Structure 1
Amino acid sequence: MQNVTAFPWLTVIILLPLAGGVLLGLVSGLARYAKIFAFGLSVFVFVLYIGVLWAYFSPAHASQVQLAEHYRWIDALGVSFAWGINGMGAVMTALAVFLVPTVIAASWNSFDIARERGYFAWILVLEAIIIALFAARDVFVFYILFEAMVVPMYFLIGRYGMPGAKRAAMKFLLYSLFGGLIMLLGVIALYVFGPGGKDAYLLDTLSAGAVPGGSAQMWIFFAFFIAFAIKAPMWPLHTWLPDTAEKAPAGTSVLLVGVLDKLGTYGMISICVPLFPQAVRAAAVPVTVLAVISVLWGALMAIGSDDLLRLVAYTSVSHFGFMIMAIFSGSPMAVSGAILYMVAHGVCTAGMFLIVDFLRLRGKTTLISRYGGWQRVTPVLAGCFFTVGLAAIALPGLSGFVPEYLVLVGTFRVFPWAAVAAVIGVVLAALYMLLPYQRVFTGPRPQIMVHDLNKREKTVMGILIAAMLCLGFFPAAVLDCVNPVAEETAQLTESGQAGAVPAAEGSAPAQAVADEGSGK
């Protein structure tokens, strides 16, 4: 069921940053005002989107597609420009439009005037593609956008990154194109084995049991899953991420890991589960094994990393392992936790990449071994690093705790062995965050003269830390939207044993523990 609006709000929200990015890229006269223009437009898009959600989106019907639009495109293939968002799409789009102005503010002085116009133009184009991906309700259009996203990311990494960035950009490109090629085979197979007709690629059409079961469904699922697993990134398809994160600009890494990589887990929930439920059930155990390996492998590699950017990248591999494990458990509690985890990780990883970049600007390196005692000269920077690190290791009261708790408890009810193994990753997380803090920030005062965070940097970090606290203490706003989606996902997989977290009760970890004990 879809809730159609009279005004095409989603189209407007998609076209605004796209038009702004094209205008900024083509009009050289805007070079002096590039960052002001990009920041102002991205803030306007954020305010407009939140206003549209406030006025037109109903959390009580979050499992339904709302703000729906439908424009026929290629009738012969059954392709349409169909937009709409359910609860998960709403919160993921909110994360994207929140992080874009944050990235622009953090990158304010990162490039000279000659280069910043192109950088911020590509950022705006990327924002439009991200919003369109989370709103797309046509699989063919989703595939085109999935491939189109590679273009701005390639230039944002290769042209504006650190020395060696072109090689990292090429590796990212090859992995992405490989995943896209595999997905294309699945898209073609959907037309061959699907219902056909004018709406052949609409998710609503394909979700109604239209994809045949058996080996055909398994192979089509496999085509989509490989593309999403590369994007997620899941072991052993993750190797492009550390190289890319090490060489890309910090703002690019924030959008890549914080938002775009979520398309992997988002696609698993919004496409794989409703279109291929039998295949998802059949693949649940082997995928969960790979997810647990991701949790442990990412954590161990992070502990062994001397480069802070590679460390953050490997921690993300570990965190994505938690999300994928939860999705394939089929538990509504775990799936709710996975979607909340997607949002919390986006905010947390943004803080990690940006604070490491602020440190690099002062210390001229990201190697942990080159630092020591920096809390004595940059106490605010050290405090921000410590706070964001605590959020990453799921300290109660910060953004990581509630989703990680829900993921582990929900998964334990279905795959106890996976949840127990993943707890080891929780323990390792304390090591990969606290040991770098000790090595970088504690010890004798270094003989250096550097400034602590300036007002702009403090504002950026303050906003991100405030978001972490809000997600830690008041996650109900997100859970209200994602619980209905999680319940539908669990019903399709038919393997969940746990009930979804009620929005009013599930917002408090203590209440969740009480519910667990009372058998709710």
Structure 2
Amino acid sequence: MLTLAILIPLLASLVLAFVPLGEVASRWTATGAAALSLVALVIVWAGGGDGFRAVAEVPWIPTLGIAWRVGVDGMSLALALMSALIFVAATAWPLKLHDARAYYAWMAFLAGVSIGLFVTLDLIVFYVFFDLSLVGMYFLIGRWGHGDAQHAALKFFVYTLAGSLLILIGIIVLALNMPTLTFDMRAMIDSPPLAAAGMVPGLVFLAFVIGFGIKTPVFPVHTWLPPAHVNAPGPASAILAGVLLKMGTYGLIRIPLQMMPDTFARWALPLAIVGVISILWGSIVAFAQDNLKRRIAYTSVNHMGYTVLGIAVAGSALGSETARQLAMTGAVVEMIAHGLITGALFLIAGAVWQRTGDYHLPNFGGLAGPAPRLTGAATLAAFASLGLPGLAGFVAELHIFLGAFGVYPWLAAIGLLGILITAALFLRMLRQMFFGDLPKERAGFTDLDRTETALLAGVLILVVLIGIWPTWLLSLIDAASLIPTPGAGG
């Protein structure tokens, strides 16, 4: 089933590349492929199981220990499910496009490689999917973006490719330090190849942190993100924020935390400090933005800072095991919540651009009158993003800060300021866009159509469901299985 979840959208991208379909047929071919991937992942979820499940393995390059290995635990299955859902919504989102068939071909391609990254159990295949995701997003931004899209796409590609090369170096060093050459994630998690002491483990850890930190992104390697978001089409921004950024934090957990637990514990405090700086920097800079998309983009730096803080706490050797498990649970829930919430916010921003060709917040106001459905969706997503109780963001942040106070209380206290600033920036955004007098140039502004409303409702219903009944997601994640045993380094 996992192999099908990858291959179906990849095959759809080939069909779209070579079969002359019209715009509507292309759109629904790509959307259908993403939906079938989602169905396959739901079937895996329904099958249950502990540890890695739905495992399949076929040798690829046996002399190097490389194979087509797929399998999921609770974290990777949750991320794959969320990714497939975001791709369904983003691909089905109505757009006015040139060369629509190519656009949907790249969307389907990106869906396949993104899901593949979360379900593979081979580090080389992981790296291949990691790099291929850059290619898909590069073309989506560069060809169908607006403004200075080509420059933004180039900056995105160069930054993240540089980070991926550091990740490749780290992967090679880990594999060479295994008793038998292999790139099997399960083997490296069960028997971490590097001890904590010495320069080599520290350098490998640094390579992973920088590489995945660029993708996440965290301060100060986040500068590629705002121009990429501002100039990308709305659905591409939803995928970039909702799916691609999670590759960075997923990689931090799966590789350095689980495969280098002792080294991670040594450097957990500096990583937690980076997370807190990202929380504050992202929220403060977001508050200063007058561009709708730049404001949302910088909140991603803020929210991924929460995730990094949770991961650092989970990998620390300090505090209680309960505190570390709470932080890990919060980090994974934050990835899911951010994907859904910020994905919805970027789809909303895309709807605004489609109607006005403008993101400048001072040019808006009074949209609650002509666009009540848009106003309702934006308000719900904004309150979820600022951490309002009863919504998904609150569940994630509560877990993270409960865990962080048990391990790094002063950092947790400082990080709480980010929530206050985030609340202020979203409330200000809602006031600027939806309340007050409607400018004359916005007199013809139209509300969300049925398709847009249905797609946003599908995403935001999950945000509410996680907020009021998170048990099903928390039991799927199983944070205890993600935290390695201290002293497990080889």
Distance 1:14 1:20 in 2: 11
Alignment deviations for residues 123-173 of structure 1 (CA, whole Å, 9 cap, x no partner): 111111011100111112111211121111110110111121100000001
Correspondence for 1:203 among 161, 164, 185: 185
1:103 maps to 2:87: no
Distance 1:15 1:273 in 2: 29
**2:274 corresponds to:** 290
Higher mean alpha-carbon deviation, 450-459 vs 335-344, is at 450-459
**8 Å CA contact 2:364, 2:438 repeated in 1:** no
**2:371 corresponds to:** 378
**8 Å CA contact 2:234, 2:351 repeated in 1:** no
Correspondence for 1:72 among 59, 62, 68: 59
Q: 1:405 to 1:263 in 2, by over 3 A?
A: same
**2:471 corresponds to:** 476
Q: 1:415 to 1:74 in 2, by over 3 A?
A: same
Correspondence for 1:212 among 177, 181, 194: 194
Distance 2:4 2:73 in 1: 18
**2:425 corresponds to:** 432
Correspondence for 2:8 among 4, 11, 16: 16
**8 Å CA contact 2:390, 2:467 repeated in 1:** yes
Alignment deviations for residues 388-445 of structure 1 (CA, whole Å, 9 cap, x no partner): 1001011111111111111111111000011101110010011110011111221123
**1:389 corresponds to:** 382
**8 Å CA contact 1:228, 1:268 repeated in 2:** yes
Superposition CA RMSD, Å: 1.6
**2:318 corresponds to:** none
**8 Å CA contact 2:41, 2:77 repeated in 1:** no
| 1:185 CA drift (Å) | 1.4
**1:188 corresponds to:** 172
**2:301 corresponds to:** 317
Alignment deviations for residues 317-357 of structure 1 (CA, whole Å, 9 cap, x no partner): 00000000011112100110110111111000011101112
Distance 1:360 1:119 in 2: 18
Distance 2:100 2:10 in 1: 17
Alignment-mate amino acid for residue 349 of structure 2: V
| 1:210 CA drift (Å) | 4.0
- Helix, strand or coil for the counterpart of 1:419? helix
Superposed counterparts of 1:249-328, under 5 Å: 249-328=233-312
| 1:494 CA drift (Å) | 7.7
Distance 1:226 1:81 in 2: 27
Distance 1:362 1:40 in 2: 26
**2:319 corresponds to:** none
Distance 1:264 1:494 in 2: 25
Higher mean alpha-carbon deviation, 347-356 vs 37-46, is at 37-46
| 1:493 CA drift (Å) | 5.2
Across the two proteins, how many residue pairs are aligned to each other?
475
- Helix, strand or coil for the counterpart of 1:84? strand
Higher mean alpha-carbon deviation, 302-311 vs 9-18, is at 9-18
| 1:44 CA drift (Å) | 2.4
- Helix, strand or coil for the counterpart of 1:365? coil
Distance 1:93 1:408 in 2: 25
**8 Å CA contact 2:326, 2:403 repeated in 1:** yes
| 1:196 CA drift (Å) | 2.8
Distance 2:171 2:267 in 1: 20
**8 Å CA contact 1:195, 1:210 repeated in 2:** no
Percent of aligned pairs with the same residue?
32
Distance 2:477 2:452 in 1: 32
Q: TM-score, structure 2 length as denominator? A: 0.94
Higher mean alpha-carbon deviation, 20-29 vs 311-320, is at 20-29
**1:84 corresponds to:** 71
| 1:43 CA drift (Å) | 2.0
Q: TM-score, structure 1 length as denominator? A: 0.89
**2:358 corresponds to:** 365
- Helix, strand or coil for the counterpart of 1:435? helix
Q: 1:462 to 1:432 in 2, by over 3 A?
A: same
**8 Å CA contact 1:211, 1:217 repeated in 2:** no
Q: 1:44 to 1:303 in 2, by over 3 A?
A: same
**8 Å CA contact 1:82, 1:137 repeated in 2:** yes
Q: 1:493 to 1:449 in 2, by over 3 A?
A: farther
Q: 1:303 to 1:29 in 2, by over 3 A?
A: closer
Structure 1 segments unaligned to the other structure (5+ residues): 1-8, 496-520
**2:48 corresponds to:** 57
